[in-house]
C-alpha cells in the first residue's frame, strides 16, 4: 500500500533495529504516525556495553543511550514504552498491548529481538542471572561488589565478555562450557582454542567439554541462594554469583496466532517482508539471503542496525518494489585488551589460513575458505588489517587470491 500522513506504522521493539527503522521512516519522508512500542521502560539503549563498560562501572547510563532524548522527541513518535505487544492480527491489521489497548496499523515493523535462555529450575535462586537488559546488568554489578567467585555458564561471546570484565574487576572467574572447545561452532576448533587460551592468559579457569547438572544452593534466610555449580562429572565449583550465557531465543511467542510464519524467528522473504504490510528486523528476523541461497538469522549489533534501515525502506517501497537485503555480516567482541572481529560467514569446517601475525601473540588475521572461495575473515587486535579484507569477502574472491593480497 501507499503510506501517507493519514497512515499508522507500528514499530514493535524499541531497541536498535526498531529505532533505526523509525529514524529511516522519517528520513525517507514518511510523515504519518509512528507508534514505537517497547516492553522496557527505557528509551532505546545500546546492549554491547552491558557486558563491558557498564558492567565494569567505567560508563554511566548517559553513555549507553542510542540517542539523546531531544533527538528521540524530534522524530515525533507515539512512544509506548513499558508496554509489550501481546498479539498481532496480520489480516486485521491490529496489535494488542499488555495494557489492554488495541492498535490499528497500516504497516508494521516487527523487531522484538530475543531473550536470554535460562537453566531449568533456577528462577527461584538468588545470585543467578542472565544478561540482556539494563536491569540484568545492574543486578549482576550489585552482587559482584560483595562477591569474589563468579561462575559463567557458557563461553559464547556474551559469557566471554562477562568473564573478561569481571576478571578485570578482580573477581575469581570460572567459565563452564559444554562444548569441548569454546566457540567451535562459530569459529572452528582451532580459533576456539585461541579464545580459550585468551581466558587462561588472564587467570580464568575454563572448564570445557563438561555440562552443568544442577546449581547448588542453601537457605540464606530470605530464600535459596546459589553457592555452587555442580557439573556432570561430579565436580562442584563454588560460586557467589552465576551468570548464565547459553544463548538467546527469538521473542516470537506473542505472534503465535498472528498469521505470520514463526520458526526460530519470523520467516520473511529476501526483502524482509513477512507479509504484505509487515517487515521484520533484528534478532528475530529469519529471511532468505540471496547471497547464501538459504534462510539465515543473525544476532549481531551491526545486522540489527543495518536491517532496521533496510526493513523500513522495504515497507515503504512495498513487497513488489523493495530491494533484497543481503549483507556481509560483521561483528566484534572486546575481551580483556583484545578486540575480536569477524567479517562474513565462518563455519567450523572451513579451511583456515593465518595471513597476518601469530596465534601465540593473540594478534593475527585468519581467513576462512570453503570450496576454494573466501567466506570470512577473523582478526584479533588487527582492526586495520582485517578491514582491508572486507572488500574481498564481499566480492567472494578465491581463497588463494585473498592469501596473496596484504591489504594496507
Q: What CATH number does the domain containing 140 carry?
A: 3.50.50.60
Ramachandran assignment for 272, one of left (phi > 0), alpha (psi -120 to 50 degrees), beta (any other): left
Residues 253 and 111 in one domain: yes
Q: Is residue 3 assigned to a domain?
A: no
Side-by-side strand order, sheet with 373-380: 330-335, 338-344, 373-380, 363-370, 351-358
Residues 227 and 302 in one domain: no
Residues 58 and 158 in one domain: no
Residues 52 and 79 in one domain: yes
Residues 36 and 154 in one domain: no
- Among 230, 246, 262, the domain boundary falls at 246
- Among 218, 246, 274, the domain boundary falls at 246
Q: Is residue 45 assigned to a domain?
A: yes
pLDDT digit of tens for each residue in the chain (408 aa)?
A: 789 999 999 999 999 999 999 999 999 999 999 999 999 999 999 999 999 999 999 999 999 999 999 999 999 999 999 999 999 999 999 999 999 999 999 999 999 999 999 999 999 999 999 999 999 999 999 999 877 899 999 999 999 999 999 999 999 999 999 999 999 999 999 999 999 999 999 999 999 999 999 999 998 777 899 999 999 999 999 999 999 999 999 999 999 999 999 999 999 999 999 999 999 999 999 999 999 999 999 999 999 999 999 999 999 999 999 999 999 999 999 999 999 999 999 999 999 999 999 999 999 999 999 999 999 999 999 999 999 999 999 999 999 999 987 655
- Report DSSP state, residue 276: T
CA–CA dist 162, 8 (Å, integer): 40
Q: Is residue 125 assigned to a domain?
A: yes
Residue 407: what pLDDT?
56
- Among 219, 246, 273, the domain boundary falls at 246
Residues 260 and 235 in one domain: no
Residue 1: what pLDDT?
78
- Report DSSP state, residue 45: B
Q: Is residue 330 assigned to a domain?
A: no
Q: Residue 17 burial (CB < 10 Å; 0-12/13-18/19+)?
A: buried
Q: Is residue 150 assigned to a domain?
A: yes
Residues 66 and 23 in one domain: yes
Q: Is residue 1 assigned to a domain?
A: no
Residues 33 and 176 in one domain: no
Q: Is residue 324 assigned to a domain?
A: no
The boundaries of the domain holding residue 350 are 337-403
Q: Which residue has the cell 559482584?
A: 144
Residues 159 and 63 in one domain: no
Residues 97 and 151 in one domain: no
Residues 264 and 363 in one domain: no
Residues 15 and 109 in one domain: yes
Q: Is residue 164 assigned to a domain?
A: yes
- Report DSSP state, residue 44: P
pTM score over 0.85: yes
Overall number of domains in the chain: 3
Residues sharing a CB contact under 8 Å with residue 111, sequence separation 6 or more, in sequence order:
11, 12, 13, 15, 17, 18, 21, 280, 281, 282, 284, 285, 304, 308, 311
List the CATH number of the domain containing 387.
3.30.390.30
User: How do residues 105-121 score in pLDDT, each as one tens digit?
Assistant: 999 999 999 999 999 99
| Grid cell of 265 as nine digits | 524467528
Amino acid at each position: 500500500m501507499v503510506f501517507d500522513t493519514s497512515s499508522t506504522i507500528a514499530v514493535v521493539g524499541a531497541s536498535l533495529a526498531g529505532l533505526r527503522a523509525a529514524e529511516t521512516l522519517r528520513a525517507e519522508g514518511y510523515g504519518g504516525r509512528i507508534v514505537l512500542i517497547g516492553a522496557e521502560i527505557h528509551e532505546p539503549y545500546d546492549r554491547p556495553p552491558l557486558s563491558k563498560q557498564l558492567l565494569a562501572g567505567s560508563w554511566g547510563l548517559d553513555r549507553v543511550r542510542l540517542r539523546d532524548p531531544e533527538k528521540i522527541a524530534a522524530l515525533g513518535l507515539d512512544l509506548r514504552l513499558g508496554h509489550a505487544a501481546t498479539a498481532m492480527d496480520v489480516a486485521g491489521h491490529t496489535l494488542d498491548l499488555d495494557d489492554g489497548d488495541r492498535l490499528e496499523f497500516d504497516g508494521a515493523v516487527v523487531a522484538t529481538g530475543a531473550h536470554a535462555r535460562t537453566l531449568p529450575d533456577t528462577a527461584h535462586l538468588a545470585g543467578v542471572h542472565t544478561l540482556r537488559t539494563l536491569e540484568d546488568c545492574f543486578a549482576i554489578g550489585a552482587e559482584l561488589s560483595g562477591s569474589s567467585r563468579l561462575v559463567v555458564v557458557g563461553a559464547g561471546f556474551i559469557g566471554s565478555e562477562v568473564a573478561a570484565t569481571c576478571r578485570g574487576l578482580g573477581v575469581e572467574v570460572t567459565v563452564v562450557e559444554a562444548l569441548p572447545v569454546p566457540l567451535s561452532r562459530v569459529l572452528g576448533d582451532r580459533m576456539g582454542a585461541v579464545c580459550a587460551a585468551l581466558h587462561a592468559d588472564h587467570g580464568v579457569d575454563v572448564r570445557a567439554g563438561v555440562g552443568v547438572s544442577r546449581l547448588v544452593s542453601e537457605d540464606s534466610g530470605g530464600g535459596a541462594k546459589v553457592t555452587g555449580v555442580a557439573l556432570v562429572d561430579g565436580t562442584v565449583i563454588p560460586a557467589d554469583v552465576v551468570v548464565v550465557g547459553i544463548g538467546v531465543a527469538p521473542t516470537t511467542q506473542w505472534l503465535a496466532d498472528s498469521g505470520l510464519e514463526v520458526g526460530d524467528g519470523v520467516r520473511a522473504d529476501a526483502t524482509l517482508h513477512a507479509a504484505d504490510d509487515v517487515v521484520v528486523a533484528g534478532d528475530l528476523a529469519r529471511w532468505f539471503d540471496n547471497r547464501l541461497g538459504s534462510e539465515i538469522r543473525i544476532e549481531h549489533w551491526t545486522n540489527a542496525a543495518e536491517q532496521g534501515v533496510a526493513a523500513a525502506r522495504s515497507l515503504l517501497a512495498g513487497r513488489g518494489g523493495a530491494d533484497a537485503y543481503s549483507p556481509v555480516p560483521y561483528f566484534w567482541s572486546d575481551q580483556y585488551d583484545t578486540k575480536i572481529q569477524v567479517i562474513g560467514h565462518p563455519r567450523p569446517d572451513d579451511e583456515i589460513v593465518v595471513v597476518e601475525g601469530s596465534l601465540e601473540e593473540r594478534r593475527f588475521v585468519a581467513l576462512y575458505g570453503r570450496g576454494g572461495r573466501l567466506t570470512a575473515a577473523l582478526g584479533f587486535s588487527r582492526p586495520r588489517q582485517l578491514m582491508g579484507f572486507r572488500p574481498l569477502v564481499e566480492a567472494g574472491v578465491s581463497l588463494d587470491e585473498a592469501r596473496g593480497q596484504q591489504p594496507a
